[in-house]
């Protein structure tokens, strides 16, 4: 059986339109078939409707825990973007390989799949687990059912590398995110009788002002983590909608806000502070009219990821990379969920740059894929070692 190259497999993966609003099952079926051809069994973890799935597989000894290589299969939309190249067809232009998901993050998935024959052939002392998820781009939603499934099994991974695009540099931390929607219900009336109504936009403005004040406070007082490009928690209102006409006191207003917190900060405490104020403002509104409210809707959230720079896993993975830089990234990943929900030490490292992710004419370079291929080859060799087998007895597969 001839071995498919990473670029060949990337072309196959890009051809599947796995935008988050679509099913990823055709791509999952392709990966299942590919793994089966190499003697690797896998299991699907379906979503509630059965229209999407996560996929999990183990290569190597099944009676012990190993290293998990994790990535999401969905992509962001191309709608409204001006693409020079066909987004769902891999196009090579010199060093660059264009297509939706090439950087974020089908390039990593392709490299992992290309390495499967070597994984199968290797005498692994420590298994390699493959975890491919859905609906990461809409709030890290799909991986949660995979995490719940993994929690039922005694053999869980003891380490994880999430292959989001970091230009093959090791990321040890990222911020968390909490996104909510606030629905303000006021009381409409003619604007000439404004005091008899409850202006929903005015109430929403108080919410906006709180967000701006809290953002300023965080920038001034912290907590700070100088390893991030923006070293403090940020808050912002991203959308706001309300009102029907200038001569009508608006009855409804809706706004979306997000908190992106450094690991040292607590977004839930900030949200609780806001909702205590909301309770006071709602009481004021109801003194004018009883049928008014401010209602909270949680949109999405994922926890921050934080690994100490001197952690043994950091040293282990750094030794397998060409670039020994450690960094902290400004975007979120599923890694925080693996760390928080399952206690799996997790790092982020993958080919390509997020500067190209989500953009028209998204691309990854051949050099980046080659660097990922080399990293995976070194990982396979490291997990064959007698040292790795010995370290399993202590519950860690890492050597000094």
Verify whether residue 361 is a known catalytic residue: no
| Residue 147, C-beta contacts closer than 8 angstroms, at least 6 positions apart | 337, 338, 341, 342
Helix, strand counts (H, E) of the chain: 10, 16
The DSSP code sequence of 296-323 is EEEEEEE--EE--TT-HHHHHHHTT-S-
Give the position of tokens 């695009």. Answer: 165
Residue 294: beta bridge partners?
184
Q: Which of these is catalytic: 32, 104, 135, 136?
A: 136
Q: Measured at the alpha carbon of residue 314, what is the angle toward residues 309 and 320, in degrees to the nearest 5?
A: 140
Give the position of tokens 């928690």. Answer: 233
Verify whether residue 74 is a known catalytic residue: yes
Q: Which of these is catalytic: 32, 74, 104, 265?
A: 74
Beta carbons of 183 and 294 less than 8 angstroms apart: yes
Question: Could you give the CA distance from residue 332 to residue 274 in angstroms, rounded to a whole number?
Answer: 23
Q: Measured at the alpha carbon of residue 302, what is the angle toward residues 313 and 31, in degrees to the nearest 5?
A: 70
Question: Could you give the CA distance from residue 352 to residue 369 in angstroms, rounded to a whole number?
Answer: 8
CB atoms inside a 10 Å sphere around CB 386:
8
Residue 305: beta bridge partners?
174
Question: Could you give the CA distance from residue 99 to residue 10 in angstroms, rounded to a whole number?
Answer: 9
Q: Which residue from 6, 131, 112, 141 is spatially nearest to 71, judged by alpha carbons?
A: 131
Give the position of tokens 């926890």. Answer: 303
Q: Which residue from 383, 395, 369 is spatially nearest to 163, judged by alpha carbons?
A: 369
**385's tokens:** 């070692």
Q: How far is CA 17 from the centre of its chain?
A: 19
- Catalytic residue numbers? 74, 136
């Amino acid at each position: 059986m001839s071995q498919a190259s990473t670029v060949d497999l990337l072309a196959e993966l890009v051809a599947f339109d796995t935008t988050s609003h679509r099913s990823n099952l055709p791509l999952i079926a392709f990966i299942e078939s590919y793994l089966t051809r190499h003697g690797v069994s896998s299991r699907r973890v379906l979503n509630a409707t059965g229209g999407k799935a996560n996929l999990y597989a183990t290569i190597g000894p099944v009676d012990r825990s190993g290293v998990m290589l994790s990535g999401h299969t969905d992509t962001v939309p191309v709608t409204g973007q001006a693409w020079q190249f066909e987004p769902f067809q891999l196009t090579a232009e010199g060093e660059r390989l264009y297509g939706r998901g090439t950087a974020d993050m089908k390039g990593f998935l392709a490299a992992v799949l290309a390495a499967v024959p070597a994984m199968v052939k290797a005498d692994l002392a420590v298994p390699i687990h493959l975890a491919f998820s859905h609906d990461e781009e809409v709030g890290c939603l799909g991986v949660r059912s995979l995490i719940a499934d993994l929690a039922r099994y005694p053999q869980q991974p003891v380490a994880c590398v999430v292959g989001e695009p970091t230009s093959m540099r090791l990321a040890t931390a990222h911020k968390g995110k909490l996104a909510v929607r606030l629905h303000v219900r006021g009381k409409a009336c003619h604007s000439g009788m404004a005091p008899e109504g409850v202006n929903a936009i005015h109430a929403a403005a108080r919410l906006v002002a709180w967000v701006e004040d809290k953002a300023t406070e965080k920038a001034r007082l912290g907590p700070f983590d100088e390893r991030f490009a923006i070293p403090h928690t940020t808050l912002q209102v991203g959308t706001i909608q309300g009102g029907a006409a200038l001569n009508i006191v608006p009855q409804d207003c809706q706004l979306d806000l997000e908190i992106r917190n450094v690991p040292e900060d607590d977004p839930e405490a900030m949200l609780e502070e806001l909702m205590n104020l909301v309770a006071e403002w709602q009481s004021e509104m109801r003194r004018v009219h009883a049928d008014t409210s401010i209602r909270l809707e949680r949109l999405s959230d994922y926890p921050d990821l934080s690994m100490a720079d001197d952690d043994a896993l950091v040293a282990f993975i750094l030794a397998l990379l060409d670039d020994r830089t450690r960094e902290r990234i400004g975007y979120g990943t599923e890694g925080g969920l693996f760390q928080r929900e399952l206690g799996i030490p997790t790092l982020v490292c993958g080919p390509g740059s997020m500067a190209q992710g989500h953009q028209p004419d998204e691309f990854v370079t051949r050099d980046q894929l080659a660097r990922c291929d080399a990293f995976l080859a070194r990982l396979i060799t490291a997990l064959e070692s007698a040292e790795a087998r010995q370290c399993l007895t202590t519950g860690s597969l890492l050597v000094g």
